[in-house]
Structure 1
């Protein structure tokens, strides 16, 4: 799938597809022994009490920028990928569309019971999400460079066979995959979409759940399987072929809510033309 600048599976700036509130931890203050003729414990003067906080989930809007994907957005806002997907009811997490708005889940706190203050943690420097994504992409390219990959003719045959196996129109699978990578398994996008079908790692996990076993996106057969089962989901849940095609690029949820964006319309035209030729 194309970079998440544009929302699988089952979505494709490759947009669209959260976590239970964490219990606040409490630290007990040390106590001195009670003085004579008194049974009431006293808190040590070395510890001050504060009100413990119970986490509650709220959200704030975030406008997707060029180069974003769900993984980097989640990391940037310190939320889990699962929380982000669930909170936004994303059915196709392989892409996020630049310019669309996501709701970022975050925790607020409400007073509960007394607890001792914890010492502040030392600030540590962290690599930016974009840096991590770039590093992951480089590592993926390096790994793919060491793997044998089929020729384009062989890849075409694998796509057709896999599409028929899962009940997907082979011409649709061929058109999408050519638009995405030119049937080149070694293509890795700036957002870490991998291979012939340009599947994002999180979309690969989703596709693995659909087929019932782990799929290795670096393997051409598994990569094609992931893309095809995503297409099966899209064609089964979209109201038209154009919506399904756009869903692979923009995300089905975004297509249903907003219709196709201009760049998605061009993507659909490209794929429809390829379906006629391939």
Structure 2
């Protein structure tokens, strides 16, 4: 579960906007009786991180969207079924609906495969940012649920979905990139590795 330590000047309203949730959900997740009273130094649970992801014992690799991985992947065993329950699952379904309206084949964007990438890349935190890898050293850190770098996001976003930190916009760009590079989200090398008994590697 993702957590946040309250800073001086924070309000539940500001934090709800930052983490793409609601004041009510934050209050419920933290048993807060009066949403107008929060205290600096206390830790908040972020409700969007409680989704039921695919269980895995593998460890994340170092690659990120826009990296230098050259494999194309082959169709093999891959996650199937509905998106996970919870807020991340809702974001995935919203993104898939937008992608379908844009003409993307639903069979190429399995929601469980998308959820698996999100689990390993950001643990479901739409504000996740990688400040240490090679992309970050070049000035283009990996950002958001699917850890896209800005040039990749700009190349694969849909019109009207221009915010790399918006979870739906981020998923849209990450999915379109995955399909363009690997043929489908299920073909992402990290998922193919897991399907064959290996560990997850970044895409």
TM-score range, shorter chain: 0.3 to 0.5
- In terms of fraction of residues, the more strand-rich structure is 1
Higher Cα radius of gyration: 1
TM-score norm. by structure 2 comes to 0.44
